[in-house]
Amino acid sequence: MLGAMSFITRHAINFIISFTVLTVTSFTLADITIFFVPVLTIASYFISNKAIKVFQKSKRSKEIGISNSEYKHIESQLKIARGHLNSLTQQYIRVRSLRSFKLLNEMTKLSKRIINIVQTNPQKFYSVEDFFYSHLPSAVQLIQTYTMLTQQQIKDSEIHLALEDTRKTLKELHGTMEQDLKSALESDLESLRMELDFVKLQNEKKRQQIEFRGDNQ
């Protein structure tokens, strides 16, 4: 959940630390074995990377108002969700109808947007918990079962009914995921409404001031 700038900063500092360690050991320990220097340099890079990453995550969690344990939990859920998303994309080559492909594509796009929103704003996780715990895993399971059944090519009324029921459930789940996206964006929409109300109020005040000055002239 750390941004690109955090990544660049962290590795820049790691490089400086590793280079410093390499320089110091090379000049102060002239008799040191040639194999030990690169090992020490790599170890210093790895240790500094871990330490700085922990610090950055702790700082980030404080900035957004959540605890370190909450941050780790959200990070873990995002990792699981990305795995589910990969599972969805793998089903593209398995669907056998244009209608099913469109539904799968829409659900994948919705999932990707929600994951990206929480990736950028981890506190929004709590607005879409059901998406991570239930809706996305259910979508993956249903689509995998659906594509597996369609590949059997067995003309059986029971299987046909099961496929229709699964398709109907997927459509309902798609609608639920659309609501998840709206929930993730709700705070942004509320901020936008407040900002628009403020701008309108300021414009109204300016208009009244202009009218007042015109009346006094």
The confidence score (pLDDT) of residue 27 equals 58
Dihedral (CA of 164, 167, 173, 178) sign: negative
pTM: 0.68
Q: Tokens in use for 182?
A: 């709206």
What is the pLDDT, as a whole number, of residue 200? 72
Q: Is residue 22 within 8 Å of 36, Cβ to Cβ? A: no
Q: How far is CA 202 from CA 168, 188, 197, 207, 210, in A?
A: 49, 21, 9, 9, 12
pLDDT tens-digit map of 13-53? 656 766 665 566 555 555 555 556 666 667 766 777 677 77
Cβ contact 173:105 at 8 Å = no
Question: Residue 103: its pLDDT value, please?
Answer: 92
Q: Can you tell me the distance from the alpha carbon of 49 to that of 66, in angstroms, rounded to the nearest whole number?
A: 23
SS3 category, 30: coil
* Total residue length of the chain: 217
CB atoms within 10 A of CB 58: 13
| Mean pLDDT score across all residues of the chain | 79
Residue 87 CB-density burial (10 A; 0-12 exposed, 13-18 middle, 19+ buried): middle
Q: Is the confidence at residue 106, as pLDDT, over 90?
A: yes
Flag whether pLDDT at 3 surpasses 60: no
Which residue, among 113, 97, 98, 106, has the nearest Cα to 188 in the 3D structure? 113
Q: CA–CA separation, 147 vs 91, rounded Å?
A: 7
Terminal CA-CA length for the chain: 59
What are the domain boundaries of the chain?
1-64, 67-206
Share of the chain above pLDDT 70, in %: 64
Q: Which tokens sit at 213?
A: 């000055």
Q: CB atoms < 10 A from the CB of 177, how many?
A: 24
| Alpha helices (runs of H) in 121-156, residue ranges in sequence order | 129-130, 136-150
Distances (CA, A) of 89 to 100, 108, 133: 13, 7, 19
The DSSP symbol for 151 reads T
Share of the chain above pLDDT 90, in %: 31
210 or 2, which is more confident = 210
